[in-house]
A and B are shown apart, each in its own frame.
Chain A
Amino acid sequence: MKYHLITLGCQMNLSDSERVSSVLESMGYERTENEEEASLLGMLACSVRQKPIDKVYNKIAQWNKWKNKRNVVTFVSGCILPADKEKFLKSFDLIFQMSELAQLPEMIREYGVVTPAGLRAPQPMMPKNEHIAEMWHIKPKYHSTYEAFVPIQNGCDKFCTFCAVPYTRGREVSRPSTEIIDEVRHLVNQGYKSITLLGQNVNSYGLDKNGEEINFAELLRQIGEYGKTSGEEFWVYFTSPHPQDMNREVIEVIAVYDCLAKQIHLPMQSGDERVLIKMNRRHSMDKYRRIVADIRELIPQATLFTDIIVGFSSEGEAEFQNTVAAMNEFQFNMAYIAMYSPRPGAASYRWENEVSSADKKDRLHRLSEVLKDHSRAYNETLVGKTVRVLINGADRKTGFSTGLTEGKLIVRLDRQDHSLMGQIVDVKITSAADFSMSGELQEVFSLSNQ
């Protein structure tokens, strides 16, 4: 009895898929990467862009053809817009919200049963997260033995005009801090080295509990205190933060504790005030500038990552130049730059998509060039230095491995040794490239192995 699970989109879906796997394997299903031998076929959909949704439609069309030849049951969950949900009801056997995951075994056993998510009227259109805690109680089946994602929050209340997430994941709900810290402890005890706290807006953590839960800075501090006493070397990251709720207190805490990774991902989206207003980002460039100044002051060694959208509605060349200027000002180590594409369900879908595809491509290219310069310049400062690197894979080039620094910079290593996988080692940087560095292994050192 085998299942095949396709996970599209962000790390949040990846984290959710670990819990889906856990539920299915507790039922006796065995995971297979070969969909043709699976009797249970599932997808975790992503609605951030049209492309992954198209993939869901293509895949279910293929799976439904197989039903003429053999018995298969199909399901879909993840981020699904109400309009897509209505269509999926006709093509998938089961559709459920992640908050209903605990009931998945029952749904599969009684395949064909109408699930709460599948009910028609009067079914609330926006997902309700009141039972999300049940999903968090499910122990995940982690994909990796050294890198894990820990959900701390689900949903989004920000309503950025380019994004449909509030309509697919519902409003922000924070996971109890005791559960989060327990999961982090458990992972560290199991030897995990890289732990990412996940949420759509991690900085808003706890705010939905009206004083009955600690805030994000305190959550980090408690994890930091645990890290201090654990005797283990591990790095804790978080994503995604929103500049609106990012504050100096969070940065102060990161500066104090070794286990809180000195890498900050701070989505800017645009460097132009008018575009930010149009995006309903609820933060100004002044606010963003202050946060970066605090990071540079309190954690000068921190790497800074961001997200940028080019070609958003109303972005002309002048507005784009403000983004270029911001890129030069903040000198990001990495930027995930996306060309704007209107997403059904998001407010901006109703507006004219006035920037041509050619202009978007051109801006993406120009901004990538700026990023490349800053990334290389920073990487060059590390040449000759020895840095800690978490080895996470084999390089395409035979005989080489790859890894990430604490700041999530890519390092190629002139050695391939499977025993190093998942270990944090000392690497002397020998050369720098645009988005990566090369280095030599200095010694194998892991506190957990002492």
Chain B
Amino acid sequence: MQPKLNAMMNLIKHEIKIDESFYKIEEVRQLTAETFSLKLPKARFAFKAGQHISLGIHGDYQSREYSIYSGANDENLEVLVKEVQNGYFTPKLRKLKAGDLVEIHGPFGKFGMEPKDAENGKFVFIASGTGIAPFRSMVRTYPEIDYTLIHGVRNSTEAYDRNEYAADRYILCSSRDKKGTYHGRLTGYLKGCTFSPETHFYLCGNSDMIFDALEILKDKGFERDQIHCEVYF
């Protein structure tokens, strides 16, 4: 009887095999009242820091793209989410808890640098809000990387995981309180900065910030090829 039972069990196992696109949430890490990270099992695909994934909720038709928040060698795949009031998707994500299934496809995109460039180059990362996600991934993936991270937020509480960045490399531009490095919009800070000519700039966040920052950097004489953009929607 035992071989027959094993065969049946194998058949059942085969039939209920869950597609490898599905990940079980291990932890919902609350960062602020509105922002949290979804901590998932280790990625079942190789990715480069800066790439994004498509994230869906099991049973829902819609999906959204999220930059990967964790490092390429980390034990967990992580995404950073800010709940959009009256939005469709993020309030649903907000309700998820450990053990729930999400669907992940990817990785996608070319935002980021080659590992050899990460070791030798000079980088300025410019992020608004949760646009910091790909930069955390880069910093965790390339611990020796020479970077400055300029992070624009409304309130200084949105300085997600700021302790992970060296204090002299992280510039917090807070527009609604004075607890950041700079009080005001990041574009205001950027206008007063000088950078060495070989710097490469990586911009991530909403399209208005990206466009304004792009114009400022072009006015400073940097070539478009030195400026890399990832737009959040």
Interface residues in chain A, defined as those with a beta carbon under 8 Å from any beta carbon in chain B: 81-83, 86, 121-126, 128, 157, 159, 161, 166-167, 170-171, 244, 273-274, 277-278, 280, 282, 284, 286-287, 345, 347, 350
Contacts and interface: CB of A to CB of B under 8 A. Distances in A.
Contacts of B109: 157, 159
B210 interface: yes
Given A124-B105, A274-B211, A347-B233, A86 B19 contact: no
A124 B207 contact: no
Contacts of A167: 63
A273 B21 CA distance: 35
A121 B108 contact: no
B103 A277 contact: no
Interface of B: 18-19, 21-22, 54, 56, 58-63, 65, 88, 101, 103, 105-106, 108-110, 207, 210-211, 214, 224-225, 229, 231, 233
Contacts of A121: 58-59
Contact of B108 (A157, A278, A286, A345): A157
A81 B231 CA distance: 23
B229 A124 contact: no
Interface centre among A124, A161, A166 (most CB of B within 10 A): A124
Contacts of A244: 110
10 contacts: A82-B62, A121-B59, A122-B58, A124-B19, A124-B21, A125-B63, A128-B21, A273-B214, A277-B229, A284-B224
B211 A277 contact: yes
Interface centre among B60, B88, B207 (most CB of A within 10 A): B207
Contacts of B106: 171
B231 A280 contact: yes
Contacts of B233: 161, 280, 347, 350
Given A282-B229, A345-B62, 9 more contacts: A122-B19, A124-B21, A124-B105, A126-B56, A166-B54, A167-B63, A273-B214, A280-B231, A282-B110
A170 B63 CA distance: 13
Return the 4 tightest CB-CB contacts between A and B, nearest first.
A82-B61, A83-B61, A124-B21, A286-B224
A148 B103 CA distance: 37
Contact of B54 (A126, A161, A273): A126
A161 B206 CA distance: 13
B179 to A, nearest CB: 30
Nearest to B111: A282
